[in-house]
Structure 1
Amino acid sequence: MKYNIELQLKNKQESYAFGQVAAQANGAAWLKCGDTVILATVVIDETDFVDEDFLPLTVQYIEKSYAAGKFPGGFIKRETKPSDFETLTSRIVDRSLRPLFPKGFANPVQITIMVLSVDDEADLQVLALNAASAALYVSDIDIFNSVSAVRIGKIDGEIVVNPSLSQLEKSTLDLYLAGSKEDMLMIEMQTLGSDEMEIVDIGMVDPLIDPGMGTSSIPVRLSNAMNEDELIEVLALAQVELAKANSAYESSFKPFASAPFDLQCKISETDVDMIEYVRANHTDDLKRGINQMAKTERSTALRTIRKNIMKEKPEWDEHELKKAIEAVKRSMVRTQILDEKVRADGRGLREVRPIHIETNVLPSAHASALFTRGQTQALVVLTLGGAKDAQMFENLTDRGTQNEAFMVHYNFPGFSVGEPSPIGAPRRRELGHGNLAKRALEGACVRNGQTIRLVSEILESNGSSSMATVCGGYMALRAGDIEMADPIAGVAMGMVSEGERHAILTDIMGLEDHDGDLDFKVAGSKEGITAMQMDIKLGGIHLDVLKEALYQAKEARAHIIDIMMNSEENIELNEGTLPSTDLFHIDPSFIGDIIGQAGKTIREIIERFDVTIDIDKKKGSVKLTGKNREGLRGARDHIEGIISGSTPVEKVEYKVGDVVKGKVKKIVDFGAFIELPGGVDGLIHISKLSDSHISKVSDVLKEGDELMVEIVEFKGNKIGLGRAK
């Protein structure tokens, strides 16, 4: 492959080839970065157009297993349904490029991005957008603005631009920003879990232990939230890098751009007479319709207005009238916000809708929370498990399989918005909203080795069900007695702008999302942000406006968190169904006493208290997991009694020549394992079972037999036995 362009960008080099592959496409770019090769193509249907008011753009990001020298996983050795990563990456590219297309563009466009070769340090989401933008830039579609992506990490307190994947694993920040030379178009941000701990005196070791046991200091995870001022500084740095990169792309790609063909945008002019008639005669009806909170009620009200006007003007085209009513409605909503600072439902610009929270409404679930904000309602259900319950997955850049131990699954059934649609596999939007809620909560969650699954069932939706999932998710975690570094809440922000005027809206509802210019979701604690997602409908946003929105969102989060904290005080755990976990530390020198001779002591604790025990011998950490708190408390008391000396531990010491009675525990081909007094196991070889030759141990012994044996040797911790004379 002969590369036409080689660009040295921040911490990476990209090489592009144009005109050598996929010649039938309207535009194609072959991108190489390290050992990663990506082909992006753009195809437009010049003869067809969509007779609806939306852009018919489809983006498909596809990973090929051969790119990493792998076979597709599973029974079928062919790429089939896209992975979650592929779906989310397609969504990111779509959201980044969609603002480039002019209003009225109605021809179907297909952007395909194929990963053909990969190295394990490649940031495929950044490269996918860069390749797609390059293909669009050199195509014969009349778009001559470059859009690119930059990822920012924070490693050991230092900001790193375009970190490698191994660097990103050590980062406490993952910020993905897409934009042009002038504007930010799309933001995905999360703060990552930190291993940094501080020692805090908590008064008592654990709620399971009586307060009379005294005070104790334990390690507590530090908050991973990023404050607004620091985030603005990082965004400003990212915007500088985007300006540099896009300038380089445009100057380099320009010689390879095709001449644009004459493509007409389908800009439908709304009938002015209809608009004036609606304003003059039905303004009050429209106000009443707009103030209908629910989407279904509002739609019914607007449909009634349309039917009434058609009776008055039967010669009019009903479809054109519908557009006229929509135009007047949009203008009324926006004008009222900008001029009167009052929203359609009567709220002020900074006002959050009423919130109601119930916890553990499902008695058989481990934990649950029903979070209602206005006419948006999320039922979030928590399930706890062990390591074996984690979701196995493997990304193209992974050297092996990984386990996802914190999952958020978001479901959006049609009935939540009054639509009679069937429930099927999760769509891109559902995967994206679940991923946003996961990113908001995961870094603040202290899992202690557990696998956590949150399922959000959206029961009603009128604005930002993803942020209701964040709030309900936090409450479900606390209702399941899961420790959190910070209370986490989320809020959706919007904006309406006309010329130099703009208004930032807190907790937007569906109407404001539809008729506004910004969809900006912010999740985090009172101190800072843990996750953020922004989509621009204007074509860009400036940092001063973004800063205003961030601080207004912080004010709203604090208000929501205060309500959540009041509700948290009233949580009653599902004691009968909630599995319990206890994690504490001991002096590693006592671990041998807890395990006992050949594991006898620890087996007795497990059987007696019906718990599982995991011990880290190096760190001295002990993790207990049980079906109920009584068993957990008893097991911990027993272990601490062994350490303090109040619980007697049977210790038997042997020396060569001792003769004892043992029981056959297990028969193997080469001998038998014998359980000795004190829970110690020894091995008697087949050659020492009899003076004469025997071919099978089972000829002379069976499990459960008792016999006299002699200690004949020690090999490390292993005891060799012989038949006593």
Structure 2
Amino acid sequence: MHSFSMQLAGRKLTLEVGQLAKQAHGSVLVKYGDTYVLVTASVSKQPREGIDFFPLLVDYEERLYSVGKIPGGFIKRETRPGEKAILAARLIDRPLRPLFPKGFRNDVQVVATVLSVDQDNSPEMAAMIGASAALTISKIPFAGPIAGVAVGKLAGQLILNPTPGQVEDSDLYLVVAGTKDAIMMVEARANEVPEAQMIEALLFGHEAIKELVALQEEMRAVVGQEKMDIELRLPDAELRQAVEAYAKDKLEQAVRNVNKQEREADIAEAEAEISQYFQEAYPEQDKEVKEVVQDTLKKVVRNMIVARDERPDGRHADEIRPIDCQVGLLPRVHGSGLFTRGQTQALSVVTLGAMSEVQILDDLTADENKRYMHHYNFPPYSVGETRPMRGPSRRDIGHGALGEKALLPMIPSEEEFPYAIRVVSEVLESNGSSSQASICGSTLALMDAGVPIKRPVAGIAMGLVSEAGRVSILSDIQGM
């Protein structure tokens, strides 16, 4: 067994390799105080056929024995992941996913199993570090390591990996993940923190990330495996050059349309014509032709934005689509708000209840409940599609939590407003930024319901586009 340790926020962090789960392709036990998380990484022998995406699956498994609890209910065992576990899995996934090779099609699964938890040390942060460490020492190709830390701000001072008690009193709770050179992911909850303080917190967290990455690099030098030979599913250079040259002008013409459905139809027509044109020259490579067409489309749009400050719908980089707000649409509910921005529309509905209706959380936290809840639904008709509706997806849960965090600092205290509050946001139409539309809709619905929120909250999705060394920042991004 090999052990690698460092001090993190005044507590000892240890990465152990070689004792547990030795048949996984990478296995690390992360110890942070009395919080223990086992993280494994495994890869399939062969690439998956017929797909054009990287099949990465991240699972975060909470075990209630880790805090000395027996699961509630009739079954008395853990079943599907709870909301916090799903949010943790998404948090870990985001900084890992961009660091795998383009064209890599082998299934990769990362599993973080929470074995022991003390209430001062976050198992989520331990799991993120462990996920990177397991991939780094495994045979799986991975351009890491990365690490993640939490940053709080209490009494004007930045705190690394704050305890739950400190988080409760903090004006800021920020999770930042990245490599030693760059930030990969940010998630935050803040009580009207100025921009300069957010940047300060990011830089503060990144210094700790550099130390954690160095620890993993030390571990890789001692126990790292040789990376596996992989088959990258990439179109050959000759085909790529030919398709790009033929498709560029056709796609640039097709992409210019304000209306999403019409634009999609124009692009589909252009793609079909391009595919047909290359059918004779590349009869066995239709999938590769379509892949190059998609890559070319992205290049065309990026070049339009950075070279001419023009988006497919004609907007400049800093322009926002037309906005419409309505309240009081539904007669028998406590409050409702309809927010429309371009072709994105969200209907938010508020229900007020007695304090006995708060959500009781049966998870790894100490006895805890939620008085303010925000639930987000994204039905298939919102984008003109059909699919079975089997309850909320991981994405729905993630977007619901995002909207919840945005409004939470503005919700009145229990003493000021002794009611449980549930907001449901139904996305009725989507062309980008639907999670932010749900934030705006929530504000409208809460005010319509008479909830004395401290100030209105609005959300907007931002983007950064780079092409040939040029950069453009976009306000109010939309789908393609």
TM-score by length of 2: 0.94
User: Contact 2:5 / 2:215 at 8 angstroms: preserved in 1?
Assistant: no
Structure 1 stretch 231-240 or stretch 403-412: which is displaced more? 231-240
What is the deviation of 1:314?
5.2
Q: Decide whether the 8 Å contact of 1:382 with 1:454 is kept in 2.
A: yes
Of 295, 299, 303, the match for 1:331: 299
What secondary structure is seen at the aligned counterpart in 1 of 2:461? strand
User: Equivalents in 2 of 1:396, 1:505: separation in Å?
Assistant: 39
Residue by residue over 1:45-104, the C-alpha shift from the partner in whole angstroms, topping out at 9 and shown as x without a partner, is 022334333211000000111112211111101110111000100111111211221211
Change (3 A) 1:137 1:404: same
Specify the alignment match of 2:473 in structure 1.
504
Deviations 1:678-723 (A, max 9, x none): xxxxxxxxxxxxxxxxxxxxxxxxxxxxxxxxxxxxxxxxxxxxxx
1:503 partner letter: S
1:286 aligns to what? 251
1:288 to partner: Cα distance: 4.6
Q: What's 1:187 paired with?
A: 186
- In structure 2, relative to structure 1, the CA distance for the partners of 1:50 and 1:227 (3 Å cut) is farther
**Distance in 2 (alpha carbons) for counterparts of 1:299 and 1:470:** 27
Q: State the one-letter code of the partner of 1:381.
A: V
Listed as ranges, the matches of 1:298-447 within 5 Å are 298-309=263-274, 315=280, 317=283, 318-398=286-366, 400=367, 402-447=368-413
Residue of structure 1 equivalent to 2:18: 19
* CA shift for structure 1 position 405: 0.7
Deviations 1:542-584 (A, max 9, x none): xxxxxxxxxxxxxxxxxxxxxxxxxxxxxxxxxxxxxxxxxxx
Percent identity at matched positions?
38
Displacement of 1:392 in angstroms is 1.1
- 1:46 is paired with a residue whose SS is strand
Matches within 5 A, 1:578-593: none
Offset, 1:294: 4.7
CA offsets 1:397-425 (integer angstroms, 9 cap, x no match): 31x3x221100000000111111112221
Shift of 1:268: 2.4
**Cα distance, 1:485 vs structure 2:** 1.7
Q: Which amino acid aligns with 1:243?
A: K
In the alignment, what sits opposite 1:262? 229
Q: C-alpha displacement at 1:349, in angstroms?
A: 0.7
Distance in 1 (alpha carbons) for counterparts of 2:132 and 2:276 = 50
1:519-554, Cα deviation, whole Å (9 max, x unpaired): xxxxxxxxxxxxxxxxxxxxxxxxxxxxxxxxxxxx
Deviations 1:497-516 (A, max 9, x none): 124310001000012xxxxx
Q: Does 1:127 align with 2:126?
A: yes
CA distance in 2, matches of 1:172, 1:310: 54
Deviations 1:339-374 (A, max 9, x none): 111111111110000001111111111111110000
How far is 1:311 from its partner? 5.8
Contact conserved, 2:70 with 2:76, CA < 8 A, in 1?
yes
What does residue 165 of structure 2 align with?
166
Cα distance in 2 for partners of 1:89, 1:114 equals 12
Equivalent residue runs for 1:111-150 within 5 Å: 111-143=110-142, 145-150=144-149
Amino acid across the alignment from 2:268: R
Give every structure 1 segment of 4 or more consecutive aligned residues whose post-TM-superposition deviation is greater than 4 Å.
309-314
The equivalent residue for 1:29 is: 28
- Quote the Cα distance in structure 2 between the aligned partners of 1:510 and 1:405: 34
Letter in 1 for 2:108: V
Q: Distance in 2 between matches of 1:141 and 1:328?
A: 29
Query: Is residue 454 of structure 2 the alignment partner of residue 489 of structure 1?
Result: no
Say whether residues 1:271 and 2:240 are aligned partners.
yes
Asked if the contact 2:353/2:421 (under 8 Å) is kept, the reply is yes
Q: In the alignment, what sits opposite 1:225?
A: 192
2:467 equivalent to 1:468: no
Provide the rounded CA distance (Å) in 1 between the counterparts of 2:477 and 2:176. 23
Shift in alpha-carbon separation, 1:319–1:143, aligned structure 2, 3 A: closer
CA-to-aligned-CA distance 1:3-46 (integer Å, 9 cap, x gap): 62222222221122211121111100012122221111111002
For residues 68-87 of structure 1, what are the structure 2 equivalents within 5 Å?
68-87=67-86
Unaligned runs of 5+ in 2: none
Contact 1:138 1:253 in 2 (8 A): yes
- 1:378 partner SS: strand
C-alpha contact 1:371 1:379 (8 A) present in aligned 2: yes
**1-side partners of 2:141 and 2:275: how far apart?**
40
Q: Greater CA radius of gyration, 1 or 2?
A: 1
Partner Cα distance (2:379, 2:477) in 1: 21
The answer to whether the 8 A contact 1:142-1:260 is kept is yes
State the SS of the aligned residue for 1:272.
helix
Q: TM-score, normalised by structure 1?
A: 0.63
Kept in 2, the 8 Å contact 1:50–1:108? The answer is no
TM-align CA RMSD: 1.8
SS of 1:5's partner is strand
Any conservation in 2 of the 1:50–1:107 contact (CA below 8 Å)?
no
Q: Equivalent residues in 2 for 1:622-637 (5 A)?
A: none
- Pairwise CA distance, 1:295: 4.3
User: One-letter code of the match for 1:13?
Assistant: K
Query: How many angstroms apart in 2 are the aligned matches of 1:406 and 1:50?
Result: 45
How big is the shift at 1:152? 0.7
CA deviation vs aligned residue, 1:192-224 (integer Å, no higher than 9, x gap):
xxxxxxxxxxxxxxxxxxxxxxxxxxxxxxxx3
Please give the secondary structure, in 2, of the residue aligned with 1:163.
Answer: coil
Q: Is the 8 A contact 1:104 1:268 kept in 2?
A: no
- Cα contact 1:120–1:165 (8 A) shared by 2: yes
In 2, Cα distance between equivalents of 1:311 and 1:45: 34
**Does the Cα contact within 8 Å between 1:293 and 1:375 map onto a contact in 2?**
no
